[in-house]
Amino acid sequence: MKKPNALLFVCTGNTCRSPMAEALWNAWDDVPRAQSAGVSAWSGQPAAPYAQEAVAAFGGDLSRHRSRDLSEITEEPDLILTMTRAQAERVQQLKPQWQHKTFVLSEFVGSQGDIPDPIGGDRDMYRAVAENIRAHLFALKARLQTHDRHQIQPEE
């Protein structure tokens, strides 16, 4: 896989984790643009209020976000990063042509485990999840910047 020009972050409903990843990532000027979707999203829903608040603390903006289902993605992304192993498997089932470029975010940057779902949690839970995602995004940014046009594969 060449260095990606378009990223897609995926979670379940596209109201918490993947929109937070999208907003935090797109707050940086020196990265390829990202979008987000859910594997079981009800289209048109705003981001969770605490998700909006959590990313705003880091310079992200979710005020205009509306959830989208994976089936609504029309432009093919170069790299698909999910919040959980189950979501990666679901993306690969729904979009088998994307199998070679779909990874769990944490695993792609050499970490372990799923990003926990804050849905139903309090403000502190959303803030902790945003910080977790942001740490993974810093690792992703560094990884992509050091891999010029070389192969992009998950960290071992």
CATH of the domain at 48: 3.40.50.2300
Q: Tell me if 75 is assigned to some domain.
A: yes
Q: Tell me if 117 is assigned to some domain.
A: yes
Out of 11, 16, 127, 134, the active site residue is 11
Q: How confident is the model at residue 4 (pLDDT cuts 50, 70, 90)?
A: confident
Per-residue HEC secondary structure of the chain comes to CCCCCEEEEEECCCCCHHHHHHHHHHCCCCCCEEEEEECCCCCCCCCCHHHHHHHHCCCCCCCCCCCCEHHHCCCCCCEEEECCHHHHHHHHHHCHHHHHHEEEHHHHCCCCCCCCCCCCCCHHHHHHHHHHHHHHHHHHHHHHHHCCCCCCCCCC
Is residue 149 flagged as an active site residue?
A: no
Q: Tell me if 156 is assigned to some domain.
A: no
Enumerate residues 6+ apart whose C-beta is below 8 A from 142: none
Q: How confident is the model at residue 146 (pLDDT cuts 50, 70, 90)?
A: confident
Q: What is the pLDDT of residues 71-125, one digit of tens each?
A: 999 889 999 999 999 999 999 999 999 999 999 999 999 999 999 999 999 999 9
Q: Tell me if 155 is assigned to some domain.
A: no
Is residue 123 flagged as an active site residue?
A: no
Global pTM reads: 0.92
Out of 69, 85, 117, 143, the active site residue is 117
**Rounded Cα gap, residues 80 and 78, in angstroms:** 7
Q: Tell me if 24 is assigned to some domain.
A: yes
Q: Tell me if 153 is assigned to some domain.
A: no
Q: How confident is the model at residue 40 (pLDDT cuts 50, 70, 90)?
A: very high
Q: Tell me if 151 is assigned to some domain.
A: no
Q: Tell me if 1 is assigned to some domain.
A: no
Q: How confident is the model at residue 153 (pLDDT cuts 50, 70, 90)?
A: low
Q: Considering its fold, how many domains does the chain have in total?
A: 1
Out of 16, 17, 90, 134, the active site residue is 17
Is residue 117 flagged as an active site residue?
A: yes
Domain carrying residue 84: 6-146
| pLDDT for 52 | 98
Q: How confident is the model at residue 154 (pLDDT cuts 50, 70, 90)?
A: low
